[in-house]
Structure 1
Amino acid sequence: MTGPMRQTPGLPTPPKGWPVGSYDTYEQAQRAVDYLSDNEFQVENLTIVGVDLMQVERVLGRLNWGKVVTGGLVSGAWLGLFFGALVGFFSQGDNGWTPILFGVIAGMVFGLISASIPYAASRGQRDFTSTMQLVAGRYDVLCDPKKAEQARDMLARLAI
């Protein structure tokens, strides 16, 4: 292959540029970019980069059979209501409530089964609910080297 190396579209590439600001939170980095934008800086030259990434799992509470069964029934009922209403909307029969009622009941059965089997299979190894987040230890604002000095000077006037 001759000539410049081709990049495959969609593959991640490392960020480029010079650091013009470093912030403890994403909101602070976003505020800095917004400040530059408000002051007519060409923001397409900027990149916000999360550094020192961490996966954080926040525990929300205990999980037990009552919560599993209730959650399965409720989520299944919503799914069944949606499909039942969809079928009822397109059906030609006089009674449009029959598909909705059947959908809710079938959805509840499906939801109960699909929630109970994984919980039973876990055998008490994970009796809690949680959410996962990817967070950074700090957020750097990078800028194209040609404009970095201007961005740095402008951000020096911003009190975060």
Structure 2
Amino acid sequence: MFFPKYRPRRLRRDEIVRRMVRETRLSVNDFIYPLFVVPGSTVRQPVASMPGVFQLSIDELVEEATEVRDLGIPSILLFGIPEAKDEIGSGAYAQDGIVQQAVRELKEKVSDLLVVTDVCMCEYTSHGHCGVIKDGDVDNDATLDLLAQTALSHAEAGAE
């Protein structure tokens, strides 16, 4: 009978040893706080499907992001909710889009926070799909071009 030379049982014998040798350690430095940004001012609208989560206007977003940073959470993930939608999701890559505006404001007022952005187009398209629809299907090539434009516009606004 074959016995392996490495037998990890001794590393599992008690809680202290298990804590010492575990591979994954989660800390506040690993957290990314999701935030949903909408047009307007003084907007703090609850998201019915996610208790305790809100859609925030940029002024409210800055306050929330400041609190997140003060709690020691180093990064946020922005999801934009535009005022208008169209077939090609043009609000996703517009220089004055809601995410682009929010990123610029956050970088000015909470500059030590890492700002990550969502580049998916589903929230920006009138049909709700994550890309350009052509002949009933997502046109991958056209979609990739718009996703690249979206990512570039977010980076130009200051997103990491």
TM-score interval (norm. to shorter):
under 0.3
Structure with bigger helix share is 1
After TM superposition, the score normalised by the length of structure 2 is 0.21
After TM superposition, the score normalised by the length of structure 1 is 0.21
Structure with bigger strand share is 1
Q: Which protein shows a greater Rg?
A: 1
